[in-house]
A and B are shown apart, each in its own frame.
Chain A
Amino acid sequence: MKLKLTTLALGALMMAGPAMADLVFPDLSYRTGPYAAGGIPFSDGYNDYFTLINERDGGIGGVKARVVECETGYNTEKGVECYESTKGEGALVYQPLSTGITYQLIPKATADGIPMHTMGYGRTSAANGKVFSNVFNYPANYWDGASGVVNYLLEENAGDIKGKKLALVYHNSAYGKEPIRTLEELSKKHGFELSLLPVDHPGQEQKSQWLQIRRDRPDYVVMWGWGVMNQVGVQEAANIRFPMENFIGVWWSGAEHDVIPAGAKADGYKAITFHNVGRDFPVFDDVQTYVVDKGLAAGAGDQIGNVLYNRGFYAAMLAVEAAKKAQEIHGVADIDAGMMRDGMEALEITQELMTELGMPSFGPSFSVSCENHGGPGLVGMTQWDADTQTWSMISGFNPTDVDVIGALVAEDSASYAAEANIEERCN
């Protein structure tokens, strides 16, 4: 706390210095409330990457990046307040880390010409760039996640999951409801039985859902949870002795703090992911040298390598690369939100680039285009090892069911376009 105060005081001093033109990246974080356990590491990773870029490279193309943090508490009303109060500072891209706030901001940000990057959350059909001009959700979205889980199960069962029972335990909100459509389509296609078990906000009360699981004995349980719901879900599964290797979480239900409370019983729990885990990347040495050792870390500096820290870090990396792309396209260092949008639309992430950044195979390689704002949707599987207290990738980044997802994206985005009177772009 004291360290944090001093660093912040330092930050305030530096901010009070000569006001240079800088690139503003708002961070709508939540470090309080029932979802803080996930919000804190993500925000730390997001902040630390920008600090690293400023300290090591002197900014993006010579212009310093400035992160404006605003606390939303995962609350949509505060999210709106944060958006309005930060957009005037020249915000380049918004990453609210909340599906509810994302839904709120999609029309507002589009009207204001500011891009949004909702990586692995938000409105899935925003992958259709023809309709959603300013919203990006590369490299993967919820429906890729759902399809990735099913593909993994197919692989495990030698391509046949007919008659298997799959239960979805989900957060009863826009976020948790997102995968249902895809899973329903896939259950038709592959012939598995799907049962839906909603859990109400904030998710501490799951006794009845797990009782039902105990009674129905599904072969697999998939969890779409966030915040405190994850810990409780894993604990409940352990309590009814549900085999952990058959329990799969979405990427928001697969971090260290979700499984550690259940102790050894959580061993073998799986989660789907769209980026790599662990701290064996050369870039984290730089973070240690340039950020943590200098006392500039956003948090206590102990979260490096945490799944969600890595995700925030990855989000910031993609933002910085998009900003560089924008500088390259427009030939100016001091870009605005519209240019940033162009940069995001032309973003291309290759293995060489990631290696160069000290993050070899941190995520899948992909490229964004005017039509496709969602990337290729490659997802991998991770598994928790309770002995070593680590997550590790147990598969590569595999493709998902593009036919099913593509049709659903087209359908949902068409209905949005009709509702909001949007003409298709990119023609």
Chain B
Amino acid sequence: MFYREAGDFKLSYVEDSQTFPIRFDRYRYFAVLAVAYGVIPFFVNDYWANAILLPFLIYAIAAIGLNILVGYCGQVSLGTGGFMAVGAYACYKLMTAFPDVSMFIHVLLAGGITALICVLFGLPSLRIKGFYLAVATLAAQFFLVWLFNRVPWFYNYSASGQINAPEREVFGIIVTGPNAPAWATYMFCLIFVTFCAVVARNLTRGTQGRTWMAIRDMDIAAEIIGVSPLKAKMTAFAVSGFFVGISGALFFSVYLGAVEVGEAFGINKSFLVLFMVIIGGLGSIFGSFAGAAFLVLLPVVLKVVGVDMLGWPTDIVAHFQLVIVGALIVTFLILEPHGLAQLWRVAKEKLRLWPFPH
């Protein structure tokens, strides 16, 4: 009824090729942005920012990054944790070396450095595919964590090997460190999420995204019709690394404030982000958000329901969390192997026909 193409006339090519061709989608998108930028910052408190919104936003960036690599370009990666660590340590070194530079620049530079490292570790993808590539990126994961643990220069020779985010500003507003107000940290991450999502969306629906998808769907055929596998794979690794690096930098500097590489960026992190991408939906920007929300929010919701509302013992709730999240993942993947994004797509198809399905 209200969700359909009919009656929405496009008068120019620009309008015709816009991201959201359906008017309702467009309004919904602007409504979400308006709430995120105009409403939430005024109500957000420490708990909401640090326990729910920041992890959600930061993991969403990481998931978008990995989705470009795995979902769009078909290159399996288990090195996300290691690449996030590169972003975090790059950000730390930059923050401590140039304290007067704005955090925006540090985070972007950290993303750039991670992109370079990611390309370096992506080189084997030209020769190997599938599971073998997964093993190669796994090596990157272990090597990077080992490196940051081993070389004291990366953690500025601190006694414990931890890195701590000092207080840094953006336009005079503190965004890192303990005195940063909740709204500032939230806005800082939100701007990066919006930037990353818009860039990713536009990259993936243009030429670049099509070459990635061509490589994903059949690399030999793609090569025959003139897609360069070297360029396609390396750009995918670079763009993915850039996003993952940004998320790692934010994860360390804004969200946690102190990081220990083995604990924060271990193999578990790689799997967590990969699960977000798989559950959310491979090859979908919305899916990255949905997957991140699912895996970040669900444990918190279960904890609030179990411990705070029902008053159950904390260990039982923690065990139930594993059971419930695990069961939901299995159920989702059986019912909808293409992830939450596919559910959303099906819902939209149904909505288009509603209320007259036949």
Contacts and interface: CB of A to CB of B under 8 A. Distances in A.
Interface string A411-426: 0100100011100000
B177 A107 contact: yes
B283 to A, nearest CB: 28
B160 A178 contact: yes
Nearest 5 pairs between A and B by C-beta? A12-B311, A31-B315, A111-B178, A107-B178, A174-B160
B51 A81 contact: yes
Interface string B48-59: 001100010000
Interface string A354-367: 00000000000000
Contacts, number: 123
A208 interface: no
Contacts of A36: 315
Given A84-B46, A103-B162, A107-B177, A173 B315 contact: no
Nearest to B50: A84
A225 to B, nearest CB: 15
B47 interface: yes
Contact of B162 (A112, A174, A180, A415): A174
B161 interface: yes
Contact of A177 (B161, B258, B266, B316): B161
Contacts of A419: 96, 164, 166
B178 A71 contact: no
A173 B162 CA distance: 8
Interface residues of B, number: 41
A11 interface: yes
Given A29-B314, A31-B318, A69-B314, A76 B167 contact: no
| Residue from B55, B177, B257 with most neighbouring chain A CB atoms (10 Å) | B257
A257 B158 CA distance: 33
Interface string B153-184: 00000111110101100000000011100000
Q: Is the interface of A mostly helix, strand, loop or mixed?
A: helix
Interface in B293-325: 300, 303, 307, 310-319
A330 interface: no
B314 A71 contact: yes
Contacts of A17: none
Contacts of B55: 77
B50 A81 contact: yes
A349 to B, nearest CB: 28
A420 B256 CA distance: 16
Contacts of A420: 164, 166-167, 177
B166 A200 contact: no
Given A85-B51, A108-B257, A100 B263 contact: yes
Contacts of A99: 160
B262 A200 contact: yes
Contacts of B160: 99, 103, 123, 174-175, 177-178
Contacts of A415: 158
B149 interface: yes
Given A76-B260, A419-B166, A81 B300 contact: yes
A116 to B, nearest CB: 13
B159 A412 contact: yes
A5 B26 CA distance: 50
A110 B178 contact: yes
Contact of A8 (B50, B149, B312): B312
A80 B260 contact: no
A177 B155 CA distance: 13
Nearest to A71: B314
Interface in A155-178: 172-175, 177-178
Given A172-B149, A412-B159, A84 B47 contact: yes
B340 interface: no
Given A84-B46, A107-B257, A420-B167, A70 B262 contact: no
B295 to A, nearest CB: 12
A201 B266 contact: yes
A73 interface: yes
A36 B314 CA distance: 12
A32 interface: yes
Nearest to A31: B315
A77 B162 CA distance: 15
Given A201-B262, A201-B266, A80 B256 contact: yes
B264 interface: yes
A353 interface: no
B98 to A, nearest CB: 15
A181 interface: yes
Interface string B263-279: 11010000000000000
